[in-house]
Chain A
């Protein structure tokens, strides 16, 4: 809209067209360079997760020689968790089930729907979540309710009849 421009600029623009184009090109190019140089570290800073510190792997959760197959027991243990610049040691729990073949499974204590604490219903032999009535089998499979995936499981191993617990694995990521 050159007609809106004051007269001086019209003459200026008319006399120095190549110069003006050069100036504009440099302004945009350098501006873009600065923008990119700032955007890259900003994106890295905000979106790339921080380099994580090595976590101590296994936590002792207790003796499992007394477990009876088919009866889940809620066991508690101290697990440390990295929270930003802090390492917190927190009390965690797991629902531990001994299978018929003596295999041990430890479920994360939260319903996969919205994270409520569920419990074992001895009568119906199901895990029941009180919040929105999700039900899980003793193997963690969804039987009813809005829960989108089976119960999450801790990585576990057994040494000398003591259960050792590792990180909690999301059931959707591990095997559906």
Chain B
């Protein structure tokens, strides 16, 4: 058998050169000093392959037009089996590539491995770094949620401020007016059609150059015997790749990548934030204001890129031991501190997103369809700690009381009210304590129970706290007497669905306190709400579906 296999391999090799080629590749000679510090290139290559793979997988279930993009991504996250893992791998993989590519560059820089004759390898590497950022920038828009939309608005506006080239950049990205379908098509085209082949070509060139010049030796390597790339260095690379993959896989499974609400160009309350690795650029714009803005948007980034490109041509000194490269280390530490400080300042300086815009729409959102009374009932359900004795979804472990999804559907409002007041009157032998709430509150609780269906049974757990609490404030103040929400309420005042498209949260809060000032002639009385009540009711009203 062994002989047969050997014969087959030899015959195949004779015709294709596969085996010889692979051996030549693997048994490459590397300097004696090679080791753990040179693993980053392999890890980066592995991660980019993961990105290609998961990107193709996502494309199998993704529709690249605005609106459909959002819906199809939601479909991937909520319905497609393992869709959340695929998206998680792609999302976290993107961030990890940035980390690894930068570490790769730092290693080469500190060791001085870019020196003659390896200048070309370094320059190709710099271009690859820029391409990596381009992936991040273009991929950011593709979910087409509020985060994607507003992040891209900011990014393209920065691009537009570039002197001379700005208008042309805008036109190329189709972002001169609003971010729209054409912008989306350009970003998608760049992300999946232009960047991947460009990356592949440049990676090919990069690896070819590394092979052509050999792995950069350290001083003293010339007198030591060479090592073989395989298996010792491959072993180190594999271990590193595995560690990176384990981290990535854990992130993809454990950390949910949120999907915010569908991109809303009228949402003026949204605070755009770029991806973490662009935060320092974002922060730079705060430092350079007014006419100096161009320093932050164009001049400094250009200088930084040029500095990287010319590094091997400026530093023509002889290769020295890594311990003697104090200047290089100093530069890395300084740049690292600068970058870290800027990023930290940007994180600290970003105001927290309002509650309504932080809802994760990739989770269950049936609660959005509930009426205010039902949501208010959920508030009391939680306040009275009904969960201590009752289940709703039927998937949890059994508790003392019956599963409410099954019982609530068999009874009506009147039965429930009586049951809440004196449980034993309706259910002899029940161990339940009377619910100590007012009449209207009990009405809401009963409404919540009657709203439970097998399809939305988890609203009891998935409704965000501020929504249930806000709805309780809404009910307590009889807002429904004049306003319509999700089809119930009075018609004296305007219907509140779609409020988020018409007003800002600040306006609404101010309107509660002083209606006459905000809309003169209104018959709405002023409301003195506590700060937390105000926050909850305003945030709740801003989650209402548009209808």
Interface residues of A (CB under 8 A from B): 1, 4-6, 8-9, 12, 19-20, 23-24, 26-27, 30-31, 33-34, 37-38, 40-42, 44-46, 48-54, 84-86
Contacts and interface: CB of A to CB of B under 8 A. Distances in A.
Contact of A45 (B50, B57, B75, B455): B57
A46 B238 contact: no
Given A44-B82, A51-B79, A30 B242 contact: yes
B232 interface: yes
Given A20-B231, A23-B232, A50-B79, A9 B27 contact: yes
Given A24-B231, A85-B71, A53 B238 contact: no
15 contacts: A20-B232, A24-B235, A27-B234, A30-B242, A33-B242, A37-B245, A38-B50, A40-B82, A45-B86, A50-B75, A50-B83, A51-B79, A85-B63, A85-B72, A85-B79
Q: Please indicate which of the listed interface residues A20, A42, A54, A85 has the most CB atoms of chain B within 10 Å of its own CB.
A: A85
Interface stretch (B222-230, B281-289, B536-544): B222-230
Given A8-B225, A24-B231, A50-B81, A85 B74 contact: yes
Nearest to A51: B79
A40 B53 CA distance: 14
Contacts of A26: 235, 238-239
A50 B83 CA distance: 9
B492 to A, nearest CB: 34
Q: Which 5 A-B pairs have the closest CB atoms?
A: A85-B75, A23-B235, A44-B82, A48-B81, A41-B82
A73 to B, nearest CB: 35
Contacts of A30: 238-239, 241-242
A41 B74 CA distance: 18
A49 B83 CA distance: 11
Nearest to A42: B57
Contacts of A42: 57, 82
Contact of A9 (B57, B228, B245): B228
Contacts of A84: 61, 72, 75
B416 interface: no
Contacts of A20: 231-232
Interface in B68-97: 68, 71-72, 74-75, 78-83, 85-86, 89
A86 B71 contact: yes
Contact of A41 (B71, B86, B242): B86
Contact of A5 (B27, B60, B86, B225): B27
Contacts of A9: 27, 228
Contacts of A31: 238
A45 B71 contact: no
Given A27-B231, A85-B75, A44 B27 contact: no
Given A20-B231, A30-B242, A84-B75, 14 more contacts: A4-B23, A6-B27, A8-B226, A23-B234, A23-B235, A26-B238, A30-B239, A34-B245, A37-B245, A40-B82, A42-B57, A50-B75, A52-B79, A85-B68
